[in-house]
Chain A
């Protein structure tokens, strides 16, 4: 990357951040990324020597929930990300300028920093009607998107829209809205799915890129492995109730008040890869299952068409290969409790062996490196 001045550290110091606060920030960033404390030093070194990264944040067909989620980030604060870590040079939701003055930035930044800026995309392009179901500056959004992508260092696909298509691409997809990897094919794309993604996952992805000057390791679906490597079910605090066969049977029943498993109410936690049950939402306050409603699977491809949301997974077919039915598992587990701990462990082992869905591919490809790009 060309030397842009000043570095994060210089800027943070200049803006009144003490050395002690700066190092604390680095430690917290390391913790947020799930890294060992020793990495804090590496983060500090990176921040002391790197300039602010230009980011162009474009919006297609979307609802702006990703932007709203982004500004919910508590660690790091979104204000710190925007003012101290990146240079958010274009974002039509927040930027001061409008019209031609705003659009000029989409020409200026790629010309000034070719190969050095990040394109972040919220929403997706519709292809029907020559792309004119989403018009920006009198032209199809898809045209502008491809222009700006051409010289980007990498592309971040924020949320379910950019990653998979989301609600406007749900059956029958009237506008032919497509995920951005259908129209940007020659750049590394980091998919950060969810409707929206968790705020700290969004800022965590950006922090990682800045800190280590490389893109995060991606799984075979293009998602950062560090946040999307496990199903919500795997780390759900209600999982013991699933294993014990204790389920909510009806809204607001005794089980609902005791925090029993929501599987029978349609919870998609067992097939949804996301960090909701670990990082949780809005500073760790809660997450959908903790608040009593099943997961609707909003980080999964085509989740809108995998419903209805209140049908339990066994009844909706192919997506679920883990536990045949809740009743079977429940009965087995209940019997196990009577029979003793050894048999219980046996059930757990079976569950463990079958945890990977058959569609899960064997090994993720090597993550793209920033340096690989021209």
Chain B
């Protein structure tokens, strides 16, 4: 391959020097990325590979569908709960189970809590080091840092003494010679452009966010008993409400626990609006000219929608965050999305480590076939167990290629906000316009790595304020005398039809998530999850179209061709989740085991 054009509008050229990044760190799971650099160290070809596979859906075959949420929840412990939510929705859809209003509200509150937590941790602990030079922070003037912090936020931890203290701690840490997680970082790389004071402010908030994030998830602990991996229930939620009856003190949800939830919501809103958003804007203001990483953003984007405001109504009439698809950058037309239509969501495997009878065609999740097939192409450099360079002309990833009506799509906070923007919904459009105005940037600046990171921050704030709305709705319901949390009329499998299919969807923090379940004789016959990183991290498909990760990397220059800083920056802007994305479909799972077990 030298200089080929992909059907989805990108040029690939693999003639330059190959660079391998494996493992890609600060993500969930295992991922490898290879790029070719031209003589100016600009990325001209990109290959992203999911490098783990667990076979969760095979394991689900034959299980009780009421248990599926717990298995699916373990697909990912970072976006913990979102797979469980999607699973109970799929099973309820299949069995026609309607959940009480309180259960819907509590689920919305747990999901918005996840957004606030996950986005915050992503920004500071998985992504910030792509923009923030920790070592440079040592050169910061605490007084100037204080002035910077106080000019952008009322957050109280902002005195010169505070930043002096943080700098001193950092100095001692560096002087110890044991750099821990900061060892071998890319400190001093010319792609870091923040002044020392902004770096010091960000390091201080890296530590504050690490200490604060554990508070946010206590909302999951109240309603689900623990975090990570709170408990869910088909038919509603198990957390019975008892505010003023006998023995309320020992009930799952009582006045004391609600007060805790309310207090955490206030503190979460404050932290995101006074620390996360101001930091994001400040950092972005220094990186305005680094406008790389667009790829599919603003061109082909997809969202399933989330946060039903009316229990059991999963249409756009009810969803606070809208569903839709945009094709070829036409923001004037938002297409409807139907997850049950066999022609819309499909997965291809001709470049994935799986086998189909006919690999020129895609399969809808309800019609999937299972057959892992770990084979390397003829141009692979290395051996089966020591891969030096992948052959992207052949199979090269445990991620399948998900397509919507044949198009590679980008999903995630930026896609959600873009669809909300295109639909003219004020709560999405206004914050975007304000951020662009504050930074004096045009709308096109949104469709970049930085735009992806910016949209995630805006969404964290949106979600934190939604937490307050959902809490207020719960209180209003209880005040009106409704304490119901579960519908048990279809709990017993003896009441179920012999054979049903269902689909459940959500918007995980990383993007659109769908689960397709087939229940036969009260057991799971097949189960399929198509997750955000299946979309974003997809390999090439039979037509040669590339996925969102690969597209976003093209055209990006590396300041130091020995350091993958800019590659990490763009990949992290998607918040990849590899354990989620590397799965297979299930109908003939037993056959797989017969073949593979040694």
Q: Chain A interface (Cβ within 8 Å of chain B)?
A: 4-6, 11, 14-16, 52, 54, 59, 61-69, 71-74, 77-79, 82-83, 86-89, 91-105, 126-141, 143, 166-168, 170-177, 195-196, 199, 237-238, 250-252, 256-259, 276, 281-283, 285-293, 296, 298, 304, 307-310
Contacts and interface: CB of A to CB of B under 8 A. Distances in A.
Contacts of B21: 98-99
A67 B485 CA distance: 31
A311 to B, nearest CB: 8
Contact of A174 (B180, B387, B589): B589
A129 B589 CA distance: 16
Contact of B59 (A87, A130, A167): A167
B16 interface: no
Interface stretch (B150-158, B166-174, B433-441): B166-174
Interface in B297-325: none
A96 B184 CA distance: 7
Interface string B124-165: 011001000010000000000000000000000000000001
Interface string B44-73: 000000011111101100011011001100
A262 to B, nearest CB: 9
Interface in B202-223: 207, 210-211, 213-214, 217-218, 220-223
21 contacts: A14-B168, A64-B78, A68-B228, A71-B121, A73-B214, A78-B210, A89-B179, A128-B596, A133-B52, A167-B54, A172-B593, A238-B250, A250-B488, A252-B240, A256-B252, A285-B218, A291-B222, A291-B231, A292-B239, A293-B238, A310-B64
Given A174-B592, A307-B67, A102 B180 contact: no
Contacts of A104: 184
A126 B238 CA distance: 35
B56 A291 contact: no
Contacts of B590: 172
A272 to B, nearest CB: 13
B484 A252 contact: yes
B467 to A, nearest CB: 16
B409 interface: no
A286 B181 contact: no
A87 B180 contact: yes
A291 B181 contact: no
Contact of B225 (A59, A86, A94, A288): A288
Contacts of A63: 28, 74-78, 579
Given A11-B176, A132-B384, A168-B54, A176 B222 contact: no
B51 A174 contact: no
Contacts of B596: 128-129, 174-176
Contacts of B186: 96-97, 101
Contacts, number: 364
Given A68-B78, A138-B382, A259-B251, A287 B52 contact: no
A177 B54 contact: yes
B425 interface: no
A132 B372 CA distance: 12
Contacts of B529: none
Given A65-B74, A94-B181, A128-B597, A195 B229 contact: yes
A167 B71 contact: yes
Nearest to B388: A138
Contacts of A130: 384-385
A201 to B, nearest CB: 12
Contact of A292 (B80, B238, B484, B589): B238
Shortest beta-carbon contacts, A-B, top 9:
A65-B77, A96-B185, A259-B250, A291-B225, A174-B55, A288-B225, A293-B231, A292-B252, A138-B387
Contacts of B214: 71-74, 78, 199, 282-283
Given A79-B207, A288-B226, A174 B178 contact: no
A65 B25 contact: no
Given A94-B26, A292-B240, A293-B239, 17 more contacts: A5-B177, A16-B168, A63-B77, A67-B77, A91-B181, A92-B26, A98-B564, A126-B53, A134-B52, A141-B30, A176-B598, A199-B214, A285-B222, A292-B238, A309-B64, A309-B70, A310-B66
A11 B172 CA distance: 7
Contacts of B568: 98
Contacts of A298: 229
A97 B238 contact: no
Interface of B: 20-30, 32, 51-56, 58-59, 63-64, 66-67, 70-71, 74-78, 80, 121, 125-126, 129, 134, 165, 168-169, 172-173, 176-186, 207, 210-211, 213-214, 217-218, 220-231, 233, 235-242, 245-248, 250-253, 257, 260, 372, 374, 382, 384-388, 398, 483-486, 488, 491, 563-564, 568, 579, 589-590, 592-593, 596-598
B252 A15 contact: no
A134 B32 CA distance: 11
B231 A252 contact: no
A296 B237 CA distance: 15
B64 A257 contact: no
A82 B181 contact: yes
B483 to A, nearest CB: 7
Nearest to B54: A168
A143 B385 contact: yes
Nearest to A96: B185
Contacts of A288: 224-226, 231
Contacts of B252: 256, 259, 286, 290-292
A167 B29 CA distance: 15
A256 to B, nearest CB: 4
Given A15-B172, A77-B211, A136 B51 contact: yes
A177 B182 CA distance: 31
A201 B98 CA distance: 39
B213 A251 contact: no
Contacts of B71: 167, 170, 304
A11 B224 CA distance: 38
B58 A64 contact: no
A286 B426 CA distance: 38
Contacts of B24: 98-99
Contact of A286 (B26, B182, B222, B592): B222
B182 to A, nearest CB: 5
Nearest to A168: B54
Nearest to B246: A258
A97 B180 contact: no
A111 to B, nearest CB: 14
B53 A15 contact: no
Given A175-B54, A281-B226, A281-B227, A5 B176 contact: yes
Contact of A52 (B76, B121, B178, B213): B178
A231 B563 CA distance: 50
A111 B485 CA distance: 57
B424 to A, nearest CB: 37
A79 B593 CA distance: 43
Nearest to A161: B74
B558 to A, nearest CB: 13
A222 B174 CA distance: 36
Contact of B180 (A69, A88, A141, A291): A88
B51 A135 contact: yes
B229 A135 contact: no
B256 to A, nearest CB: 10
B80 A65 contact: yes
A87 to B, nearest CB: 4
A175 B53 contact: yes
Contacts of B56: 167-168
Nearest to A13: B172
Contacts of B564: 98-99
A282 B176 contact: no
Contacts of A128: 596-598
B59 A174 contact: yes
A137 B23 contact: yes
A46 B240 CA distance: 46
A240 to B, nearest CB: 10
A251 B593 contact: no
A89 B22 contact: no
